Amino acid sequence: MKTLFRGYLESSLILRVTIALVLGVAVGLIGGETTAAWLAPFGDLLLRLLQFLIVPIVLFTLIVGINQADLGRMGRIGGKVFVYYVATSALAIVVGLAVASLFSPGSGMTLDQSTSIDVPENPGFVSVLLSIVPDNIVGALAQPNLLGIIFTAFAFGIALLKMRHSEGQKVLGEKLYGVIEALNAVTMKVMAGVLQYVPIGVFAIVAGTVASQGLDTILSLGNMVVVLYLALAVHLLLYCVLMTAFGVRLKAFFREARTPMATAFATQSSTGTLPLTLNAAQRLGVSQSLYGFSLPLGATINMDGAAIRIAISAVFAANVVGMPLDLMTMVEIVLIGTLTSIGTAGVPGAGIVMIATVFAQVGLPIETVALLTSIDALVGMGCTALNVTGDLTGTAIIARTEGDQIESRPDERQAV
């Protein structure tokens, strides 16, 4: 038993996660919902462990990162991150519309007029902007409100940086920075322990997801699912082209990105996967001042996978009701969808909110959303994996424009 446990710890994390994914699918299909219910606590524990790390890892990483850079560089990085996230979200919707128009998911299906769905309220773009500044720091940390945590880290990080460069407060500032740097190091140690549990949690979550969806659901809307995953693959290929153009080594990138990608696929949570995403960026050699800002922000507002889902859902709904989309409607979907993917950040059921908002704006029947909810988990898995990949891609590209070298750390590769 001891030898087996040692072998588990010494094997690569991605190998363990891959085996967990395969076993989870098999157990979900064979064992059904009874087995999935028994395994559910193990999956819940993984989500709790990852959420447990979010606040300290974002707060300390960003404060330390700010104090390792200058304010001018931070402003330049912020501009690049924002442009990248907006541009790729718009591109994702274009990709989704193009692929869906080519394969026409939903053609031949009919709408059951008796179906209905309760869509969570869209808080609106202005509300999301206001949430950046929390009215209560403790509340922002408790929720957690990632945008609020980023603002808090920026405010205190910049104040600490000023203290360290002030003659009267330099000694005090250096002492405080040393404490925060130590807390950041301790958080990383805790995360290293949590990583060992990831495959077990992934196995339980995947088994539960497959068992609850079942083959009937997969087959009934299989065309929609296939088209969506094809669009996700096309967008992933575009990421590869962009990274190659900016000199990012794809082999090194995917060696480190594959674990957060697989975990995001299983958990369907960009925010929950954030500790692993930050760890991947660190191992790629990205500066802490960049990834400490870009990845938490991306987990909140950058949703390329969700943007593709909006586009394909719109074409699907139009085909179901026999109302093909014209060029102007597609342009409208690109504009509204890009803003919506940012404006619904952090909302429970965000995918459904985005789709319903776009449908209402372009005149598509809201009843078709009920059809899409039946495959919510299946499409959510791929979309979340792409969301996380997009965050890491943007971080790597911006790092290259700032002169960072993107390469995996061979001395730690086996452990992670």
CA dist 279 and 55 (Å) reads 15
Place of tokens 């586009």: 311
pLDDT tens digit sequence for 303-318: 898 889 888 888 888 8
pLDDT of the residue at 260: 93
DSSP string, 347-361: -TTHHHHHHHHHHHH
Look at residues 257, 334, 271 and name the one whose alpha carbon lies nearest to residue 302. Answer: 271
- How far is it, in rounded angstroms, from Cα 212 to Cα 91? 33
Residues in the chain with pLDDT < 70? Answer: 1-2, 4-10, 69, 106, 108-129, 213-221, 341-351, 353, 370-371, 374, 408-416
d(CA 209, CA 266): 8
* Helix, strand or coil, per DSSP, at residue 10: helix
HSE-CB at 328 with a 13 A cutoff on CA atoms is: 1
Residue type at position 180: I
pLDDT at 123: 53
Q: In whole angstroms, give the CA distance from residue 362 to residue 321.
A: 14
User: Which amino acid is it at 44?
Assistant: D
Q: Check residue 413 and give its pLDDT.
A: 41
Instruction: Dump pLDDT digits (tens) for 278-304.
Output: 999 999 989 888 998 899 888 888 889
The whole-number pLDDT of residue 35 equals 80
Q: Residue 6 is encoded by which pair of tokens?
A: 């040692």
Tokens (6 digits) for 122: 């869209």
Q: Would you state the pLDDT for residue 66?
A: 84
- What is the Cα–Cα distance from 353 to 416, expressed in whole angstroms? 36
Gyration radius of the chain's alpha carbons: 22
Q: Quick check: 252 and 31 in contact, CB under 8 A?
A: no
Rounded CA-CA distance 104/135 in Å is 47
Could you give the CA distance from residue 282 to residue 276 in angstroms, rounded to a whole number? 10
pLDDT at 167: 83
Domains annotated on the chain, with CATH: 62-168+217-412 (1.10.3860.10)
Cβ(358)–Cβ(310) below 8 Å: yes
Q: Which residue has the tokens 């009934």?
A: 220
| 201: nearest Cα among 250, 269, 135 | 269
CA distance 366 to 235: 27
> Strand, coil or helix: what is 65?
helix
